[in-house]
Amino acid sequence: MIVRVRVVGCDAGLAGRAKVLDQRAAAARALSALGLVDPPRIPDGPPLPAQGTHWSVSHTQGAAGAAVAPFALGFDLERARELRPELVRRFLSPAEPALDPLVAWTAKEAVLKKLGLGMAGLSRCAIVARESNERLQLRFEDTRHDVLLQRNGVYYAALSHDGGPATAVQWEWET
Ligand SMILES: CC(C)(COP(=O)(O)OP(=O)(O)OC[C@H]1O[C@@H](n2cnc3c(N)ncnc32)[C@H](O)[C@@H]1OP(=O)(O)O)[C@@H](O)C(=O)NCCC(=O)NCCS
């Protein structure tokens, strides 16, 4: 079993609607390189599996990425930046391990996207342990979810999948 993740570059200088369209086009390129062209999605909602292939996309300034697998998965990508303390307090409690806020953000997003909830599930999701620089253990309600972390230059990526511990993850960075 394998999860493939691909990150491609896009124009970091755009703003507004042009930025959104450019980032979505980049995510579509990443998905297409992984073998999925225009898979089904709920508008402004979670992706739908296409013939047994689950997928997740994420966009940030200057890059977008996609992940595919034959089981549920969630992927998040963020560009390094300072997060305001009041924002950090909204998604990372003092009871959780002290992590780089952007790492915590991407990890929770990956789990919440895998579950198809997005931000609606934030208050029920917590980081339990930092197992290494590449792996965190999270909990959503009573269920454990592992998150794999990758950093490439200014980009932070997180992946959560339901393939189990024997699953290989192939990271492909074009940025
Ligand atoms: C929509 C959300 C799932 C991700 O938002 P985001 O990080 O801003 O955006 P990303 O680029 O990583 O992901 C967007 C993709 O998520 C997918 N998505 C949307 N709703 C989703 C849901 N409920 N579940 C899973 N995936 C979803 C879509 O494929 C979307 O792509 P599209 O915009 O091209 O349709 C949601 O969590 C959100 O609104 N986040 C806001 C960011 C935030 O405040 N984070 C706090 C840190 S934990």
Q: Is the CB of 70 under 6 A from ligand 1?
A: no
Nearest residue to 77 via CA among 149, 132, 29, 129: 149
Residue 114 has pLDDT above 90, yes or no: yes
Q: Is the CB of 24 under 6 A from ligand 1?
A: yes
Which sign does the torsion angle of CA 153, 3, 20, 118 carry?
negative
| CATH number of the domain enclosing 131 | 3.90.470.20
3-state SS, residue 148: strand
Nearest residue to 149 via CA among 162, 137, 163, 133: 133
Q: Could you list the residue range(s) of the whole structural domain that residue 58 is in?
A: 2-173
Q: Is the CB of 6 under 6 A from ligand 1?
A: no
Stretch 151-172: mean pLDDT: 97
Tens digit of each residue's pLDDT (9 = 90 or more) over 39-98: 998 988 899 999 999 999 999 999 999 999 999 999 999 999 999 999 999 999 999 999
Residue 44 pLDDT: 86
Count of domains observed in the chain: 1
Residue 175 has pLDDT above 90, yes or no: no
Residue 60 pLDDT: 97
Cα gap 153→25, rounded to integer Å: 22
Q: Which of 76, 109, 115, 117, when mutated, tests ligand 1's pocket best, judged by the most ligand atoms within 8 Å of its CB?
A: 109
The two tokens of residue 100 are 């780089």
Amino acid at 53: T
Could you write out the DSSP letters of every residue in 47-105? Answer: B--BTTBEEEEEEETTEEEEEEESS-EEEEEEE-----HHHHHHH--TTS----HHHHH
Residue 54 pLDDT: 98
Residue 166 pLDDT: 94
Distance 116 CA to ligand 1 centre (A): 9
Q: Is the CB of 117 under 6 A from ligand 1?
A: yes
Tens digit of each residue's pLDDT (9 = 90 or more) over 6-41: 999 999 999 999 999 999 999 999 999 999 999 998
